[in-house]
Amino acid sequence: MKRATAILLPVLATGVAACGSGNKSQADVPAMTNAQSKPQPTAPAAPKPVAKANAAPKTAGHRADKASRSRSRAHSKAKSKAKPLPTTIAPLPERANYTFAVNAKEILPAGGFVPAGAPFNLVLNSVDGKAHTVKLQSPTQRTIQVEAKHPGKISFGGLAPGKYVLQLDGTKAVATLVAINVPIKKPKS
C-alpha cells in the first residue's frame, strides 16, 4: 500500500497542477518523480509519469474548477455584447495626410480623392531620387518643391468640391486631385 501511495501521490499532484494551468501545455509542467527511481534514457515516446497523468481519473475538484471557468467565460461574454455599428462616419483626424508619389514621368496616384471642406495636407514624395516642382493650378496657383530625400508638403484648410490639376515640372504630365462631398463628422472643439 505504501508503494502505491508513493507512486500515486506524485502522479495526482502532477495531474492537479496541470489542471490549474489554463495556458500551459503538458510539456511545460515538469513531471514529479520518486527519488528512488532510476533515470530513464530519453526516447521519442513520452515519459510514463506524463502518460499516467493523462490517464488519471478526474477529481471532483477538477470538475468544479472547469465548471467555474466556463461560468466565468459565459459571464464575461454576456458583459461584452457587440455594440451596434455607428450610423455616422467617424471623425477625421484634425489634418489628414494624402500622399502622392512623384517621378520624372508622372504623379501617382492619378485621380486621388480628398473630402471636400476638410482640412488636409498634400504630401508629395520623390520616388526616383530627383528633385521636382509640382504646380497646383487652382483654386490659386501654388508651387510645391519636392526634394530628392525630403517630401514636399502643402496644407489646405479645405477645398470646395471639384477637380484640381497638379502639373509636374512644367511638362504635360498631370494628375488630378478630386475633392468630393462626403458626410464627415467634425471633431468637437
Query: What local confidence, expressed as pLDDT, does residue 52 receive?
Result: 47
- List every span in the chain annotated with CATH 2.60.40.420: 96-180
Strand partners, 99: 123
pTM confidence score: 0.46
Average pLDDT over residues 111-130: 88
CATH number assigned to the domain covering 96-180: 2.60.40.420
Nearest to 136 by CA among 175, 171, 110, 162: 175
Q: How far apart are CA 167 and CA 185, in angstroms?
A: 32
Q: Which of 29-38, 65-74, 90-99, 150-159 has the highest mean pLDDT?
A: 150-159
Cis check for the bond before 109: say yes or no (omega within 30 of 0).
yes
Nearest to 61 by CA among 17, 102, 10, 112: 17
